[in-house]
Structure 1
Amino acid sequence: LFTLLTFLLLFPIFMSCAKPAMSVPLSTDSRFFVDQHGHRVKLACVNWASHLETMVAEGLSKQPMDTISAKIASMGFNCVRFTYATFMLTNTTLGNLTVEQSFLNNNLNESLAGIKALNPSILHLPVIEVFKRVVASMGRHNVMVILDNHISKPGWCCSLTDGNGFFGDEFFDPDVWQEGLVRMATMFKGVPNVVGMSLRNEPRGDRQDVELWFKYFERAAEAVHKANPDVLILLSGLDYAIDLTFLRNRSLNLSFDRKLGFEFHRYGFTKQNDWKGSNPNQMCGQVVNELKNTSLFMLDKGYPLFVSEFGADLRGNNENDNRFLNCFLGVMAEYDMDFALWTLFGSYYLRQGNYGIDEVYAVLNWNWCGLRNATYSARYSSIQPRFQVPGLPEAYKHKIIYHPQTGLCVLRNSLSMDDPLVLGPCNESEAWSYNTQNILSLKESYMCLQAKALGEPARLGEVCKDPSSKWKMISDSKMHLWSEGRDGSSVCLDVDSSNTIVTNDCKCLADETDCDPASQWFKLVDRNKF
């Protein structure tokens, strides 16, 4: 449906939508993050790890630091969730290790040689100083930073037995944790591109306790805000950051406001979901309903919600992840979510005892030189721009017809009603309206979307009263647009191999598991800007 050549032609259009330069510091206005002037800032971030054994940002053996920062900005990301380990700040022996010492201690001679060649100026610096230099490098490229306390003891995260899961675990002393947070907040006070701090990644484990969560997160939030009043404070829920239900009827007791947001994570493997072995429509509907119950309700409570981790295997052959992503990108577009994609880094110095291993979820390839999968990168690019901008006139509101499988939207190929509709960049989409009679029409026009017959292109028409002009959202996924063709056939909106909008038999409406409805999944997304 979407070729590499198509992506290369459209990539500059996708990138033109991102606006990384912001008026900071940021604050909150109901569910949105806003700048100093009250204008919405959508966090379109990518994760960059610095929390593993070396405590050095991944990739500095592959590319110069500024090259990586420039690459982040060129891919349309306006911020980075930059991870770190508490002990880098609270254990002076660790924090004062030079890069060379840290890499030699971990037998990383090959990676050390790469750093000597590509980033020689950091070789004899303490790892904590290098952390600051990476943040400064991102600042030079107008990339904002969310400082993420990923773990206490440097290493891979996360498991139920790593001693880092919840307060009272072997490496998770709440006083030491708070000390590290305050030191980090103080270190970056007055650094304009550091716009937020995520206080802890993925609380989890047998010690999880709601009362302790409130006790220690309230205390730490106050301490961080006192040390650095400019930064946003982001809090994760329980059970690997998927459960915020305990906040449905209870709020934190804090002395400050307009700085608090919440975060959640989601992957194809979350809760051991079997996307491959389930009916895709049913599984998507189940997961969306679960998200509404466990996290999305926070938007209705008036808090920003930051999807600080989600992603998929970008090799493209993981059916579980592919099905998940087709569903979840629809959620991301529908709710216009702030996010941090997992992940940037194409390889690791050291992960779980393995040297130089590939990261198949990364947007960059193993040597950090190029995109791992251009088609997937185009899809992520489609959710980087803002769809919703608060404060604009009501007349600006309209719909776009978003196609998660490609990251494109339905648009006119020409002004002629005889020409078929096609998929194209969402920033070129016409404004659509969808009324209570289930009619999809071009806003402020007499033209509506119509189904002709099975296997034929859907087209615009001017007589919009017959059944072929009515489109219902059906199936558990609520992403099939169903209509009745003029020949009496029952059809769903679909996309053919040339990206033309057609109508075909509806897919996967029964209980079958060996079908793929992704080409027929569309989201009617609210937008109020052109």
Structure 2
Amino acid sequence: MKTRMFIALSAILSSTFLYAIPAAQAFSPKFPLSTSGNKIVDSSGAQVILQGVNWYGMENEPGTVIGLNARDYKLMLKQIKQTGFNVIRIPFSMQTLTKGKEVSSVADYIGSNRELKDKSPIEVLDALILEANVQGLMIILDNHSQADQGYRNDLWYGQAGYTEDDWVEMWKSLAIRYKDSPNVVGFDLKNEPHGKATWGDGSATDFRRAAERAGTAIQEVNPNPLIIVEGIENQVAGGQKLSGHWWGGNLEGVRNNPVRLPVANKVVYSPHEYGPEVSPQPWLISKNLEKNLLDRWSKGFGYIHDQKIAPILIGEFGAKDFSTKTISGRWMKAFTDYLGKKGMSWTYWAWNPGSADTGGLLTPDLVTLEKKKMPTILNLIKVQKKLVAQR
């Protein structure tokens, strides 16, 4: 099984019948991106705050981002850009990458979607990346799972027959495939390690070790992308200050065991942060909610930013209820205020509707923006742009 999976991924992602996407006209910022202390910077040294959305679907059936059954993909990308975002995080499963023609649920009779007719999932992704570059949007690829609809798997291997070797080879193949796609700025190695995942103990379940292995393999063939590393859920080697974390949210291990790669200034740490609509965590039940949240964020991941160890990218955050009369809304306001003040990068979950926990920034018609959510998100973009301009 190991050999068969390894060969299949390598063949699909790297063989000559699949092309490397040609570079489109460059746009600001100047690529590639790197890190400088707690900032992401472009090749000229200018600070870049990633402000974006998750556009999910490629990690499940039908094998591509949701919404192409109803809208022209170029118009969807145009709306994302015009709304004010500069990056899209695209979750995918390893199974999706190996699917042949054709992807389901693409209305290939609508406008530019005719270009996607008979394409496989990864070929549709190619088209999305190329058009995103034309429109001035950056892309982060997020390995959400090994199997379709497999996000609950705690490790980066062990699901649907995939091994760690398969996972590393997959990332290496994607690094080759998108080497000439400058707007593919980051690889989020594994979504939300949790459960059995450890940090810093050197074992087979040590995500720090695995991140260094995958990151090194990527950099051997493509030194350009940011290597985005999430945390774990449970205790880290060397101890920690907080007793509980979200899946992938425990980055306290970075204090004593940071990720180190051959190409310096490429590691970005990426926790996920949610309110009570995802799970009524004990730290969300407090008379001094805002104060306690600030303390948690500082101890859990904010110290990485504050001590200028590396930049932080909040890979996911979101909610349905933005009313400041509720715990959810108070959490959202406190968190967006925190991101604005710190200048941390972020990708909101999610652009498309359908998430049971958070909904989306689009309403179910896949065109209209959620009027109760957008003022908060647009204000965050505005505050952070002002912050960069003042530096």
TM-score (norm 2): 0.81
C-alpha separation in 2, matches of 1:133 and 1:318:
43
Counterpart in the other structure of 2:251: 244
Counterpart in the other structure of 1:414: none
Question: 1:411-456 deviations in whole A, cap 9, x for unaligned?
Answer: xxxxxxxxxxxxxxxx6xxxxxxxxxxxxxxxxxxxxxxxxxxxxx
C-alpha separation in 2, matches of 1:144 and 1:306:
14
Cα distance, 1:366 vs structure 2: 0.9
Q: 1:57 and 2:58 equivalent?
A: no
Q: 1:179 and 2:169 equivalent?
A: yes
- Which of 365, 376, 379 aligns to 1:382? It is 379
| Residues 1:359 and 1:125: Cα distance change in structure 2 (over 3 Å) | farther
Contact 2:352/2:360 (<8 A) preserved: yes
Contact 2:319/2:357 (<8 A) preserved: no
Pairs within 5 Å for 1:22-33 = 22-33=29-40
Pairs within 5 Å for 1:108-187 = 111=105, 114-117=107-110, 119-155=113-149, 157=151, 159=152, 164-171=153-160, 173-187=163-177
Counterpart in the other structure of 2:191: 201
Counterpart in the other structure of 2:303: 297
Counterpart in the other structure of 2:101: 97
Which amino acid in structure 2 is aligned with residue 165 of structure 1? D
Pairs within 5 Å for 1:306-321 = 306-313=313-320, 319-321=326-328
C-alpha separation in 2, matches of 1:359 and 1:344:
13
| Residues 1:44 and 1:315: Cα distance change in structure 2 (over 3 Å) | closer
C-alpha separation in 2, matches of 1:359 and 1:71:
24
Contact 2:155/2:193 (<8 A) preserved: yes
Pairs within 5 Å for 1:90-489 = 91=98, 94=99, 96-99=100-103, 103=104, 111=105, 114-117=107-110, 119-155=113-149, 157=151, 159=152, 164-171=153-160, 173-210=163-200, 211=202, 212-239=206-233, 240-269=247-276, 272-273=280-281, 278-279=286-287, 282-299=288-305, 300-313=307-320, 319-347=326-354, 360-373=358-371, 375-385=372-382, 387=384
Contact 1:345/1:368 (<8 A) preserved: yes
Counterpart in the other structure of 1:66: 74
Counterpart in the other structure of 2:13: none
C-alpha separation in 1, matches of 2:43 and 2:145:
31
Contact 1:200/1:236 (<8 A) preserved: yes
Computed over aligned residues only, the root mean square deviation of the Cα atoms, in angstroms, reads 2.5
Which amino acid in structure 2 is aligned with residue 379 of structure 1? T
SS at match of 1:28: strand
C-alpha separation in 2, matches of 1:273 and 1:298:
23
Which amino acid in structure 2 is aligned with residue 218 of structure 1? E
> Looking at CA atoms only, which structure, 1 or 2, has the larger radius of gyration?
1
Counterpart in the other structure of 2:88: 80
| Residues 1:358 and 1:78: Cα distance change in structure 2 (over 3 Å) | same
C-alpha separation in 1, matches of 2:318 and 2:32:
28
SS at match of 1:265: coil
Cα distance, 1:147 vs structure 2: 1.1
C-alpha separation in 1, matches of 2:137 and 2:323:
28
C-alpha separation in 1, matches of 2:293 and 2:284:
14
Number of corresponding residues: 343
- Bigger fraction of residues in strand: 1
SS at match of 1:334: helix
Contact 2:156/2:167 (<8 A) preserved: no
Cα distance, 1:251 vs structure 2: 2.3
Which amino acid in structure 2 is aligned with residue 32 of structure 1? K
Cα distance, 1:168 vs structure 2: 4.8
| Residues 1:324 and 1:115: Cα distance change in structure 2 (over 3 Å) | farther
Contact 1:168/1:207 (<8 A) preserved: no
| Residues 1:220 and 1:255: Cα distance change in structure 2 (over 3 Å) | same
C-alpha separation in 2, matches of 1:527 and 1:85:
35
| Residues 1:237 and 1:315: Cα distance change in structure 2 (over 3 Å) | closer
Contact 1:276/1:319 (<8 A) preserved: no
Cα distance, 1:24 vs structure 2: 1.1
Cα distance, 1:315 vs structure 2: 7.6
Which amino acid in structure 1 is aligned with residue 102 of structure 2? T
C-alpha separation in 1, matches of 2:42 and 2:324:
40
Contact 2:198/2:232 (<8 A) preserved: yes
Pairs within 5 Å for 1:501-516 = none
C-alpha separation in 1, matches of 2:254 and 2:358:
34
| Residues 1:386 and 1:189: Cα distance change in structure 2 (over 3 Å) | farther
Higher relative contact order, chain-length normalized (CA < 8 Å, sep 6+): 2
| Residues 1:372 and 1:254: Cα distance change in structure 2 (over 3 Å) | same
Question: Structure 1: 5+ residue runs without aligned partners?
Answer: 1-19, 104-110, 348-356, 389-426, 428-525
Cα distance, 1:342 vs structure 2: 0.8
Contact 1:46/1:79 (<8 A) preserved: yes
Which amino acid in structure 2 is aligned with residue 384 of structure 1? I
Q: Percent identity?
A: 23
SS at match of 1:81: strand
| Residues 1:337 and 1:125: Cα distance change in structure 2 (over 3 Å) | same
Contact 1:314/1:361 (<8 A) preserved: no
C-alpha separation in 2, matches of 1:257 and 1:124:
41
| Residues 1:358 and 1:254: Cα distance change in structure 2 (over 3 Å) | closer
